[in-house]
Chain A
Amino acid sequence: MRRPRQENQRKVKETMKDTIELRWHGRGGQGAKTAALLLADVAFKTGKYVQGFPEYGPERMGAPITAYNRISEKPITIHSNIYSPDFVAVVDDGLLETVDVTAGLSPEGAIVVNTQKSKEEIVPLLKGYQGKVYTIDARAISVEALGKNYPNSPMLAAVVAVTGVMEPEVFLSEMKASFEHKFAKKPEVIEGNMKALQMTLDFIHE
């Protein structure tokens, strides 16, 4: 089951609308908002029009939160939340039992779930969702690549691979530049983060 991703990406691209809409589900403190902003950032750098925004409420650590991305070749004026996303990313599989993560999700699109479970265990929790289902163990990848559980980098790479918003090579080079800037004073973590991205791109599969 290794690397059917090139094929999948092509399929996704064929169905791509002017604007890709993506919804993130996570828990307060897990970095779903940060991941949405990072995705907006890297898509912006490849010349796209972007939106990255969280849905705000009285958030606290551990409570379910939602964040959104719109990515387009054209300027985006819509300022509403996203109810019919093309893609959904779930940062915490514990949410599958309490949040309707596939609500409105396009059957032409896909869902990416961060989990240590197998896809067979996850699918029954998705309320009969007919589209593509990707699972990724962001924790294992992060621990192996970085020595710590920072699921953001693997989740970001997984979303880039699944949505096909940009070529993986472009994504990697933009992220490298961004890490070099962000971690100018901690260059030792750059390699680990890049490794986490590369491992995800290699392992992501439907």
Chain B
Amino acid sequence: MAIRERLSGNEAVAYAIKQINPDVMPAFPITPSTEIPQYVATYIANGEIDTEFIHVESEHSAMSATLGASAAGARALTATSSCGLALMWEELYVAASDRLPIVLALVNRALTGPININADHSDSMGARDAGWIQIYAESNQEVYDNFLQAFPIAEHKDVHLPVMICQDGFITSHGVENILLVEDDKAKEFVGEYEPEHFLLNSKEPMAVGPYAVSNYYMETKKAQREAMQNAKKVILEMAEKFEKMTGRKYGFFEEYRMEDAEYAIVIIGSAAGTCKAAVDKIRETTGKKVGLVKIRVFRPFPEEELAAVLKNMKAVAVMDRSEMFSATSGPLGAEVRAAMYQAKADTEVVCYFYGLGGRDITVEDFEQVYDNLEEMAKTHEVKGMYDYIGLREK
């Protein structure tokens, strides 16, 4: 029987870490992820787990120590947010190219500036090209479930890539909600023991990790990373299936909410998807209009074909980004979805919106407005501009 609890998103991640009992956790505090290492440190102090906690002087050191521990053969993880992730930048690429199965608990927060502590996806979206698998959550339940699946994905022999488990700062990280926890023994069995194939502390196999690669080798390394990222798609689905067998909770690359007969769809990432679901229910109940939602769970590897197959039959699609990239087109999700639709030769109208930057709230009514806009767009076949804003103050 699952354990019925109420936890914040940070508590849920810390609880998953306790159940996993990893070997090493170097971490440096930063709002809103600070509670995660804080709770883990408490578990260690209470003797509940025997993880080696390393107090470091910065996030640069936190990720350096994490990848050092992982290269040595340990199951290692860390947690951070926003500028903390930015300070890890160099090591993010090292972790991925060294093929280290590290897990990072990322609590999404806007990047400076202006200085802001609230939720948006600019931190992880900025790191989308670093070679990490990225998995996002709508709720505390999802971030917990994703976290339990992270190491089995990262450590799989066909993958060997680091995984970022993302949740929205404060909205889920500090909000308390109902949650179903997996029993300790089942969680441990699901995650399994880590048996590294090649590792520095193996005296029988002397090796170097992260050496210089001349031009004759660098490009093949990148191709190998890309192959691993493609392999991750299969493994992510395998782990989701295994997880569903254990818990009954179904996961994939994305969630389709009331999409069976939908004509208008919103594509979105993270906690706002829950608010959008309420709008979908309300619109369907009050007007009968066929609206639906696609919530992206896995952003890297990006499920391009699978997503386009679902969206190409829509009359109109709104892609909603919670981060800027100052391109001519839209935010990062908008650009990826548009590219996917182009590849699929879809003639669906696609509009991109920015919302929720720096924690700007988004409501059920905002989503109703977006669906209204989609309906109008499908009628007129007129997409006004490549992007627009939801929730922007006029003056």
Contacts and interface: CB of A to CB of B under 8 A. Distances in A.
B139 A80 contact: no
Interface string A59-101: 0000000000000000111111101000000000000000000
A206 interface: no
A199 to B, nearest CB: 27
Interface string B337-363: 000000000000000000000010111
A81 B361 contact: yes
Contact of A56 (B6, B170, B272): B170
A79 B170 contact: no
Contact of A50 (B174, B176, B277): B176
A53 interface: yes
B175 interface: yes
A47 to B, nearest CB: 9
A202 interface: no
A40 interface: yes
A77 B174 contact: no
A51 B177 contact: yes
B272 A79 contact: yes
A78 B274 contact: yes
Contacts, number: 64
B274 A79 contact: yes
A44 B271 CA distance: 21
Contacts of A44: 6, 178
A78 B364 contact: yes
Contacts of B171: 53, 79
A41 B6 contact: yes
Contacts of B174: 53-54, 56
Given A41-B6, A80-B363, A52 B175 contact: yes
Contacts of A53: 170-171, 174-176
A58 interface: yes
Contacts of A51: 175-177
A79 B32 CA distance: 17
Question: What is the interface residue range for chain B against chain A?
Answer: 20 to 34
A80 B270 CA distance: 12
B117 interface: yes
B278 interface: yes
Interface in A113-140: none
Contacts of B178: 44, 49-50, 75
A54 B171 CA distance: 9
Contacts of A76: 177
B34 interface: no
Contacts of B231: none
A175 to B, nearest CB: 16
Nearest to A48: B178
Given A51-B175, A56-B170, A58-B117, A77 B6 contact: no
B385 to A, nearest CB: 26
B82 interface: no
B361 A80 contact: yes
B274 A77 contact: yes
B32 to A, nearest CB: 7
A48 to B, nearest CB: 8
A201 interface: no
Interface in B118-144: 118, 138-139
Contacts of A75: 178
19 contacts: A41-B6, A41-B176, A44-B178, A50-B178, A51-B177, A53-B174, A54-B174, A56-B32, A58-B117, A77-B275, A77-B277, A77-B278, A78-B275, A79-B139, A79-B171, A79-B274, A80-B275, A80-B363, A81-B363
Given A41-B176, A51-B175, 11 more contacts: A44-B6, A49-B178, A51-B176, A75-B178, A77-B138, A77-B139, A79-B138, A79-B139, A79-B168, A79-B275, A80-B362
